[in-house]
Structures are given as structure tokens and as C-alpha cells.
Amino acid sequence: MDERRRELTINAVLALGLLAAPLVALAVDEPFYVTLATRVTLLALAGVGLNLALGLGGMVSFGHAAYFGLGGYVAGILAHHAFNGTPVLLGLPGTDQMIVIWVVAMVLAGLLAAVIGALSLRTSGIFFIMITLAFAQMLYYFMLSWPAYGGEDGLPIFLRNGIPGLDTMRPWDMFVISYGVLLAALALFAMLRGARFGAALMAIRQNPDRAAAVGIAPFGVKLAAFAASGMITGLAGALMADLNGFVSPAMMAWQTSGELIVICILGGVGRLFGPVAGAAILVGFETVFGGLTQHWQLFLGLVLLLVVLFARGGLIGLIAGRQRHG
């Protein structure tokens, strides 16, 4: 139980540290770092989505950029039509309300993940990795070549979408929104993991034949987890587009999928706060070494190599041991 307490401690440190960072930045009047903390928060949120499929279900999706980018385009396209006062399609108007955008982003990303999952979950291993990659690249090239929403130039969001009662243009408000959504996603992740659904999902990851032999059909459980995973990552994409004021096909590119996997591995696959730790490491390297050299990813690559070779459980595993606790 000592390891369990250590994991709870590091979780608390990460949660409070992520909250403290922008407060300190505000106190010393460095709003840039508030936005940086928001970026960590939203990458972590996207990672929590992937962690549901990858960590709990063992589904190595190399195409989560599709859901991330789809969420981003939902925010961009709805804001675009709200700004221009034109209908999106079939006379439906756009919107500049974040909460509406989130719901649409989650529904569409969940549907996309359900379709892609239904077609790819019959395979496993390298085939699953390649099929998820292929679907995401299809979407990437589609957005790249579709001129209606900017094509390869991307689509700007001129006015950040809003939430009643908050000023989303203020960095702190945007951080608080993102942080709240991240905490909600983490709570959902912990709840699913502890419930019968999570028990079935983690059992299927370890031994699908055994799960079937006690009467749990693996396919449906994996598909449900995959769809939920896509929803969370899609929500993160919608928020990220709003944070950046911009959405482009790059959000859907395979590099983004790779980054999300890296985030999970660095922090600890399957660990509740793994993506939070991983996103902090990634953005930290990007900021510190990115200022020194263009080739900052070299340093990240070295760390990734060390983690894979010597610390399979990522940062959380290094501190709290191999076993997976709350």
C-alpha cells in the first residue's frame, strides 16, 4: 500500500503544481506562462483520452490525431459560421458558445472513433496500429485538400469562443476552463477504471481469451472504450483550437498522434496522472530546449529512449512502482 500512497501523492503534486504554475506566472506578470500551462493541460486532456484506449484497453491507436483535429475543426468551423452569419449546413447556424462546441465535438469525435474502431478492432498488433494511422491520414489529406475551410492554410478563429460569465480572452479564465475539464476527464477515467466496465476492459487487455471464457465479449467493451477515448481527445482538440485561435490539418497529422503516444509513455501508460506528467515533460522540453536549439526533439527522443529502456512505467512508474493504483 506504500506504493499506492506514493502514487496518490505524486498525483496531488501534479494537480496542484499545474494549478500553481499559472498563479505564480500571474503574480510575476508573465501571462505567457499561463497560456503555456493551459497548453500542458489540454495536451494532458488529449492524453487522458488516448490513455483510456491505450492504457486500459491496450489499443495502440496511432491515429488519435483524427479525433483531436476533428474537435479542432468543429470549434473552427462553427466559429467561422457564427462570425460570418452563414449556416453550417441544412440551415443550421454556427455558434461561438464553447459548451455547444464541446458537445458537438464530442459527439462527432465519438461517432468517428466508433466507426474507425468498428473497422479496425478486428485486427490487433501492428495491423491495428497501421489501420488507425491510415484512417487518420485519410482525414488529414481530406482537410488538406478541402478548400472550404482553408485547406492547408488552416482556419483562424478570430474571436475566441465564449462561456457565459467568463471572459475566455483572459489567459487565466481560459486556463481555469481547461483545468476544470481536465479534472472532470480524470475523474471520469478513474471512475471507469474502478467500475465493472474498467475491470472487463483491463482484463481483456491482459487476456482476451480468459475474458471470453467467463462470458465477456471483448469486441463491444473495446469499441465502447475506443469511442469514449475519441470523445475525450476530440474535446481536447476543440479547446486547443480555441487556445491557439487557429486550426489546421497539422492537428490531424501523424506527428500529433505520435506526440499523444509519447505523452502517455513518458508519464506512464495506464496511470491516472500519466498523461499530465507526460504533457508537462513534453511542453517543458519544448520550451526549455526549444529556446536553445531547433532540434529540441533530439533531447526528448533521448529521454523517451531512456524511459522505454529503463523505466517502462514512465515517470509515475519510476516513483510509485510498477503496480497500477488509483
Q: Which residues contact other proteins by CB under 8 A?
A: 191-192, 194-197, 199-203, 206-207, 209-218, 220-221, 224, 323-324
Question: Least distance (Å) from other proteins to the CB of residue 22?
Answer: 32
Question: Least distance (Å) from other proteins to the CB of residue 224?
Answer: 7
Nearer to other proteins, 91 or 196 (CB): 196
Question: Least distance (Å) from other proteins to the CB of residue 188?
Answer: 9
Question: Least distance (Å) from other proteins to the CB of residue 61?
Answer: 21
State the helix-helix crossing angle for 98-120 and 218-244, rounded to 10 degrees.
140
Nearer to other proteins, 92 or 217 (CB): 217
Which residue, chain included where needed, has cell 500553481? 20
Q: How far apart are CA 231 and CA 236, in angstroms?
A: 9
Q: How far apart are CA 160 and CA 239, in angstroms?
A: 10
Nearer to other proteins, 84 or 206 (CB): 206
And the C-alpha cell for 71?
Answer: 474537435
97 burial via Cβ count (<10 Å: 0-12, 13-18, 19+) = middle
Cβ proximity of 152 and 158 under 8 Å: no
Nearer to other proteins, 16 or 191 (CB): 191
Nearer to other proteins, 194 or 301 (CB): 194
Question: Least distance (Å) from other proteins to the CB of residue 323?
Answer: 8
Burial 144-181 (b: 16+ CB within 10 A, else e): beeeebbeeebbbbeebbbeeeeebeebbbbbbbbbeb
Nearer to other proteins, 29 or 209 (CB): 209
Nearer to other proteins, 100 or 224 (CB): 224
Question: Least distance (Å) from other proteins to the CB of residue 194?
Answer: 4
Q: How far apart are CA 271 and CA 274, in angstroms?
A: 5
What would the DSSP string read from start to end of 25-77?
HHHTT-HHHHHHHHHHHHHHHHHHHHHIIIIIT----S-THHHHHHHHHHHHH
Q: How far apart are CA 126 and CA 110, in angstroms?
A: 23
Q: How far apart are CA 193 and CA 195, in angstroms?
A: 6
Question: Least distance (Å) from other proteins to the CB of residue 293?
Answer: 41
Question: Least distance (Å) from other proteins to the CB of residue 118?
Answer: 16
The total number of residues shown for the chain amounts to 326
And the C-alpha cell for 52?
Answer: 483510456
Nearer to other proteins, 170 or 322 (CB): 322
